[in-house]
């Protein structure tokens, strides 16, 4: 039976942008409906992205540790040769996802947000029909927040299905593939490729660019490339993938040679695109910026009282960006004066080793003579050595203005450096100068001491180098 509902705020998409916007709207006393038509509460990140991938990466690292212990011992620890039942690992991962799903549901309920499960289609900017299991519901709203997220890009000659998989399927495989070929050397492909190598798969990576993670400078990516080489991951750089037939992926190498790579599974990770199709965006009259919905610094679209957050609005396509935008929009609707204008949005690659980047990097300041750059190696940090994290070429790098010592950018590569990302973002957001970092007593022994020492080095007086 058809039903019609009116509401103050209608949110489309229950990912990190949408559900956070919903909770904040509820906290502010706004009558709010959240339509969840995608992966479930928490969206891509919680269900088939950030959280499950980090769970699999963690399990893979545990397996690798035991494998080392079995292959002659490590840190004085020996063990029998381990085995992996990936179906049990996946079940454990699914348990984490379910727990978080339930947590989000409870928070939305506490905030009095009405959640409707179904796929929405807009007939105009403020009206949509949601197809649910119990029939159609028409919703009209004073404010609409679009938070539909993104989806994996599919190659026309490597369509998803069967043994050609996206990251979604990779996170739920019943067994470790003997041979895995990853098409795309960005962060998603590398994170999963490295995890499956740790789990025992033979892994090959095919990347069109001449090097891995081309958005980062070579110094940051070199430790990752060395790990791949050391662990026998086959790299085909400057290469183009073709069709997949009879268990073999056709590849054109950098030199133009045609080769075939055997594969039990082909993981395609060539990027993500905003989810703009299938829900009536074309009927809403909002302006676009290329493939993305165009917004201003209030996350407002060109249509009055229609807002957009998260991956739908452009790069960086990161969960924490969407969450921050969702909070801003909720507060604006409630009458607060807010803008989305961060100094930086830090990004992390959970590769081996990890990479963190916030603010400007060397490629952004190339040719400038008004910038101080200082690097401090993790090999000189006691905590890093105690965690076996000091021998992979890792470092922390600081970029600052010569004139006033204002921090411009911060990067790190090494095991466990993802935990430095919030400190990096905080210092940049507060407009810190090198002396602020140098004058902060950093706890010993921690990885964060490398940030302190890099700042001291930029000032010309590092202690431990």
Residues labelled catalytic: 444
Strands 202-207 and 234-237: parallel
Which residues lie below 8 Å from residue 117, measured CB to CB, with a gap of 6+?
36, 37, 132, 133
Closest CA to 332 of 1, 4, 30: 30
- Cα of 254 vs its chain's centroid, Å: 29
CA distance 427 to 405: 13
Please give the structure tokens belonging to residue 156.
């026309």
CA distance 178 to 262: 10
Closest CA to 381 of 456, 439, 453, 437: 453
Closest CA to 328 of 310, 347, 344: 310
CA distance 191 to 171: 11
8 A C-beta contact, residue 345 and residue 322? no
Please give the structure tokens belonging to residue 265.
């599974």
Report helix, strand or coil for 421: helix
Q: Which long-range contacts (CB under 8 A, 24 or more apart) does 317-320 make?
A: 317/150, 317/272, 318/345, 318/347, 319/15, 319/16, 319/45, 319/49, 319/50, 320/16, 320/345
């Amino acid at each position: 039976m058809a039903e019609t509902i009116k509401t103050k705020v209608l949110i489309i998409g229950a990912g990190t942008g949408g559900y956070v916007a919903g909770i904040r709207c509820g906290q502010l006393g706004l009558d709010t409906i959240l339509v969840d038509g995608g992966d479930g509460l928490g969206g891509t990140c919680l269900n088939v992205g950030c959280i499950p991938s980090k769970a699999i990466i963690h399990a893979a690292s545990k397996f690798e540790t035991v494998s080392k212990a079995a292959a002659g011992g490590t840190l004085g620890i020996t063990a029998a040769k381990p085995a992996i039942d990936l179906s049990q690992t996946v079940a454990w991962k699914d348990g984490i996802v379910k727990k978080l799903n339930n947590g989000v549901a409870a928070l939305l309920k506490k905030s009095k947000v009405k959640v409707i499960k179904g796929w929405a289609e807009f007939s105009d900017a403020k009206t949509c029909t949601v197809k649910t299991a119990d029939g159609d519901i028409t919703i009209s709203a004073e404010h609409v927040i679009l938070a539909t997220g993104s989806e994996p890009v599919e190659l026309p000659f490597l369509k998803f299905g069967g043994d050609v998989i996206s990251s979604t399927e990779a996170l739920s495989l019943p067994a470790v593939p003997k041979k895995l070929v990853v098409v795309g050397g960005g962060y998603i492909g590398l994170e999963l490729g490295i995890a499956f190598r740790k789990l025992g798969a033979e892994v090959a990576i095919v990347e069109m660019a001449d090097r891995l993670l081309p958005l980062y400078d070579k110094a940051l990516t070199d430790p990752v490339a060395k790990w791949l080489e050391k662990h026998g991951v086959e790299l085909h750089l400057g290469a183009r993938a073709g069709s997949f037939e009879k268990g073999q992926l056709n590849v054109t190498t950098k030199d133009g040679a045609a080769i075939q790579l055997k594969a039990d599974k082909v993981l395609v990770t060539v990027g993500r695109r905003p989810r703009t199709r299938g829900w009536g965006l074309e009927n809403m009259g909002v302006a676009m910026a290329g493939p993305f919905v165009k917004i201003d610094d209030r996350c407002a679209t060109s249509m009055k009282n229609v807002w957009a957050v998260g991956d739908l609005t452009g790069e960086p396509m990161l969960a924490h960006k969407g969450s921050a935008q969702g909070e801003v929009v909720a507060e604006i609707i409630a009458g607060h004066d807010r803008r989305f204008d961060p100094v930086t949005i830090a990004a992390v690659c959970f590769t081996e080793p990890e990479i963190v980047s916030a603010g400007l990097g060397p490629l952004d300041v190339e040719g400038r003579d008004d910038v101080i750059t200082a690097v401090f190696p993790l090999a000189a940090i006691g905590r890093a050595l105690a965690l076996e994290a000091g021998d992979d070429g890792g470092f922390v790098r600081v970029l600052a203005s010569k004139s006033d010592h204002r921090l411009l950018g911060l990067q790190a590569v090494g095991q466990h450096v993802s935990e430095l990302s919030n400190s990096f973002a905080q210092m940049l957001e507060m407009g810190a100068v090198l002396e602020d970092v140098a004058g902060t007593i950093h706890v010993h022994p921690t990885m964060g001491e490398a940030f302190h020492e890099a700042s001291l080095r930029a000032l010309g007086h590092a202690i431990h180098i």
